[in-house]
Amino acid sequence: MKSLDELKELRDKAQKDIQNRDTGDKVEIIVGMGTCGIAAGAREILQEVMKEIDKRDLDVRVSQTGCIGMCEKEPLVDVKMPGHDRVTYGEVTTDDVSKIISNHVVNGNVVDDLVVARLEE
């Protein structure tokens, strides 16, 4: 930190990240962060999700979960949209994150070629 403005900017970004993780009934993206997911690259996926949401200025809740039970399909990302089935995407790459957010979260179109499971809500 070299100035008070830099510190304020960092504080504002941290508050926005916390708000994205902790707000109420809206679209939710869940990243599997069990040891199997982390070993497969889930940390990078979570960072890319946060970066993409920030870039698009989306009002989306982001959370983490432990092992989902499909270790061979890690990294896993779930998208829960109010009134729709929960969709689990598997073997997600950082390039896939933009596609999932653009198609599914923004436009409501599931990215079928990445889907590994659907759960009725």
Domain locations along the chain: 4-119
Q: Residue 106 in contact with residue 56, Cβ under 8 Å?
A: yes
**Arch. (CATH architecture) of 4-119:** 3-Layer(aba) Sandwich (3.40)
User: pLDDT (tens digit, 9 = 90+) per residue, 10-27?
Assistant: 888 777 766 655 445 789
The pLDDT of residue 13: 78
User: pLDDT (tens digit, 9 = 90+) per residue, 67-100?
Assistant: 888 999 999 999 999 889 899 999 999 999 999 9
Cis-peptide into 82, omega within 30 deg: no
The pLDDT of residue 23: 46
Q: Which amino acid is at 52?
A: E
**Residue 99: alpha-carbon gap to chain centroid:** 12
The pLDDT of residue 121: 66
The per-type count for the chain, helices as H runs and strands as E runs, is 4, 5
Residue 1 has pLDDT above 70, yes or no: no
Q: Residue 8 in contact with residue 1, Cβ under 8 Å?
A: no
User: pLDDT (tens digit, 9 = 90+) per residue, 97-116?
Assistant: 999 999 999 999 999 999 99
- Which residue has better confidence, 2 or 70? 70
